Structure 1
Amino acid sequence: MQYLVTMTTQVPADVSEATVDEVRGREAARSRELVAGGHLLRLWRPPLEPGEWRTLGLFEADDAAQLEEVLASMPLRIWRHDEVMPLLPHPNDPTSPTPLRLDATEYFTTFTVTIPDDADPNDVDARHAAEATATRDLAAKGNLLRLWSTGENRALGLWQTDAADELPAILAALPLAEWLRTETIPLTTHPSDPAHATPA
């Protein structure tokens, strides 16, 4: 099972810079071990305020208990608080991996679908079918990387685009757009992200 983990680190004021550097070095080494073990899939940095230290991580584990063992094994956990979001399969998730373009910008989108009570059931079915087709097309074009369900009527999408104004246009054109509330998080590269790691 996959999980999105928001990792927020707060280093106590009395900790020396040398200690921080030493723990961060061990964190990077442990991250490489977790990648090799198949538990750490991706790492990103979301937008940060001055002084914030936050990372988003995509992890794989058999269950919540194993995930906790993985997170507890990371050296920065001594100063870190983790928020875990279980990710469930989504029927429109791309069936084959979409190649990651290392020069593109990645985004997370959280979709909440609200269908009007008076919506025509035939129209609802038609829009869902068109949405499935649209997501397949967007994966083929290299924009949609992943799509997960995060609960009833909610989904998490991972996207990549070459231009800042490209994603809003893509989202506005989705067949379900009229019924979607969308939150978008731009992502930047994390130095320990497996997708950007330099081969040894």
Structure 2
Amino acid sequence: MEFLVSISLDLNRVPEGQREALLAAEREAALRLGAEGVIVRMWRVRGEARTVGVWRAESDGDLDAALGRLPLRPWLEVTATALEEHYADPGR
């Protein structure tokens, strides 16, 4: 299954003494999820502290588990929408 995932982060909520280490760990985790094929595509939203991406998982539970691997997960606001194929998708 593919999911459209929107992730927002308010850095002010992240403990100041842990920010640098958590941000570095977050980058590594995201790159690893991409290499594993979980994160298919990801974009930053211009002017916002938010990303949107296409994630791949077998189920809602697997997506939750993948998101749980992000070190900043306790401070992230996440919205996930399950996607289905569309007959007019040029990438079909």
> Do both share a fold (TM > 0.5)?
yes
Q: Deviations over 1:93-130 (max 9, x none)?
A: xxxxxxxxxxxx11111111022357224x11111111
* CA RMSD in angstroms, aligned pairs only: 1.7
Give the secondary-structure state (helix, strand or coil) at the position aligned to 1:195: coil
Pairing partner for 1:163 from 42, 50, 59: 59
Q: Deviation at 1:194?
A: 2.5
Q: Which runs of 5+ in 1 are unaligned?
A: 1-104
- How many residue pairs match? The answer is 91
| Separation of aligned partners in 2, 1:141 and 1:147 | 14
The aligned residue for residue 130 of structure 1 is 25
1:189/1:170 CA distance change after superposition, 3 Å:
same
Amino acid aligned to 1:140: A
Q: Deviation at 1:186?
A: 0.7
Give the secondary-structure state (helix, strand or coil) at the position aligned to 1:186: strand
Amino acid aligned to 2:88: S
| Separation of aligned partners in 2, 1:119 and 1:131 | 14
Q: Which runs of 5+ in 2 are unaligned?
A: none
Q: RCO (CA 8 Å, sep 6+): is it higher in 1 or 2?
A: 2
| Separation of aligned partners in 1, 2:84 and 2:3 | 9
Provide runs of 4+ in structure 1 moved above 3 Å. Answer: none
1:117/1:111 CA distance change after superposition, 3 Å:
closer
1:148 matched to 2:43? The reply is yes
The aligned residue for residue 2 of structure 2 is 106
TM-score w.r.t. the length of structure 1 is 0.42
TM-score w.r.t. the length of structure 2 is 0.87
The aligned residue for residue 194 of structure 1 is 90
1:179 matched to 2:79? The reply is no
| Separation of aligned partners in 2, 1:180 and 1:155 | 11
